[in-house]
Amino acid sequence: MKNPIISGIGLWTPKNSITNEELATAYNAWAEAFNSKHSDEIEAGSISKKPLSTAEFIEKASGIKSRFAYCKDGILDTSRMRPRLPARADSELSVQAEIALAAARKALIAANKSAEQIDVVIVACSYTQRAYPAIAIEVQHALGIQGFGFDMQVACSSATFGLHRAYEMIKAGTATGVLIINPELTSPQVNYCDRDSHFIFGDVAVATVIEDSATCQSEHSYEILSTKAATLFSNNIRSNFGYTARVSDTDPFALDALFHQNGRKVFKEVCPMATEHILQHIDQHHLAVKNVQRWWLHQANINMNHLIIRKLLGRNANKNEAPIVLDKYANTASAGSLIAFHQHHKDLSSGDHGLICSFGAGYSIGSLVIKKR
Ligand code: CO8
């Protein structure tokens, strides 16, 4: 019987970071210019005055202090308010393949594997920059991997759902080594002119190697005991821009074309769903909460994580039990729980249990119960 394990994880972090102060200053300058340009319409009540943002609100409401951006240029430019990513020729590596490759190479080193030992590449993230050829196939080609690759999207649960596919392939013996990559290039979809959401997201790429325990040569590896997925349709987190925009004459800058959400409802509805999901999942392994040494939770909002942990443990977690990375990385869509895993797993002892869990748009929840080898 095959025994799927996580044998390596790699993290690529952009060079550019943007603080809350920088972001709020740029947004406020843009909002004040807008208000002054439209003062007559605002006075007449035909358009609303743009409210101002504060760095203090952002940190208090979300726990986010800064975020990384593939390209800072443009985001803080009040005449642009979006990153500047020039188009590349078909002969050049795409941006998403570039950041995916950077993370993939690190994951292969961590797993002590060469590209020849991988036969499946999955690129799983919230957005891919084109429909085809798949970013995964571009990465497969760049690494010289024999086999196949495909892209998949499940918003914030793309990474965990991608890991589920890898687990199943290794378990079934249809793959020997799977590279799952999450190049979360979120900044092109952020509406930096929306006070309620301009601060939420950051760019990053994570890659993970899954293989059978029999082939594992890595120092830190984790048996995947099982995976659990759930989805429930909700309109509370949406992004409507897609390929039909060309024929529906949709404005790519319209509010509903970009990421938008009803944050309060998401908070209220997703926390109990995620808690229940996690409890059911660990119970499948007859594990009580006290038997799980680490909780690598989705990183959207620090208050959500604190609430879920209090519901699970009946108390606050210490920093080691449920690591937080969103202060520095912000919400990196599906990559968050894996960044937390990347930064906080080497200190665990053989036999320790942990849980990786994502929750977000869809709604979608994905979890893995793992055990240090
Ligand atoms: N500065 C100052 N004040 C502000 C700001 C700001 N930037 N924004 C809002 N306020 C004000 C509001 O106007 C409001 O004022 P008042 O009380 O006078 O009406 C007050 O502050 C409180 O506002 P909210 O009720 O909106 O604030 P919350 O405390 O609810 O916090 C959050 C807002 C942080 C958004 C919070 O609701 C939250 O995090 N909810 C959970 C959301 C979540 O997890 N969403 C997941 C989305 S991500 C996902 O699923 C992946 C999608 C795919 C990736 C997309 C990539 C682009």
Tens of pLDDT, residues 341-373: 999 999 999 999 999 999 999 999 999 999 999
Residue 116 belongs to some domain of the structure: no
Residue-level pLDDT at 253: 77
Q: Which residue ranges in the chain fall short of pLDDT 50? A: none
CATH classification of the domain holding 249: 3.40.47.10
Residue 58 belongs to some domain of the structure: no
153 CB near ligand 1 (under 6 Å): no
Gap from CA of 98 to ligand 1 centroid (Å): 31
Residue-level pLDDT at 115: 97
Q: What's the pTM value of the predicted model, to 2 decimals?
A: 0.96
Q: Please check whether residue 333 is in contact with residue 126, taking contact to mean a CB–CB distance below 8 angstroms.
A: yes
Point out the ligand 1 atom lying closest to the alpha carbon of residue 24: 7
Structural domains of the chain, count: 1
Residue 70 belongs to some domain of the structure: no
Domain of residue 331, residue span: 222-372
Helices (H), ranges, the chain:
20-37, 39-44, 55-62, 95-111, 135-143, 158-172, 245-248, 263-283, 302-313, 326-329, 336-343
Query: Concatenated DSSP letters for 291-310?
Result: G--EEEE--S-HHHHHHHHH
Residue 264 belongs to some domain of the structure: yes
Taking phi first (over 0 means left), then psi (-120 to 50 degrees means alpha), and beta for anything else, what does residue 333 get? left
Q: Active-site positions?
A: 156
Each residue of 55-72: pLDDT tens digit? 999 999 999 999 999 999
The identity of residue 362, as a single letter, is G
- Distance (Å, whole) CA 217 – CA 203: 31
Angle between helices 263-283 and 302-313 (to 10 degrees): 40
Cα dihedral value 199, 203, 207, 208, nearest 10: 0
Residue-level pLDDT at 252: 76
308 CB near ligand 1 (under 6 Å): no
Residue-level pLDDT at 262: 96
Residue 326 belongs to some domain of the structure: yes
Residue-level pLDDT at 226: 98
Residue 122 belongs to some domain of the structure: no
Residue-level pLDDT at 44: 96
Query: Concatenated DSSP letters for 58-72?
Result: HHHHH---EEEES--
Residue-level pLDDT at 177: 98
Within 10 angstroms of residue 122's Cβ, the number of other Cβ atoms is 29
Gap from CA of 331 to ligand 1 centroid (Å): 12
Residue 93 belongs to some domain of the structure: no
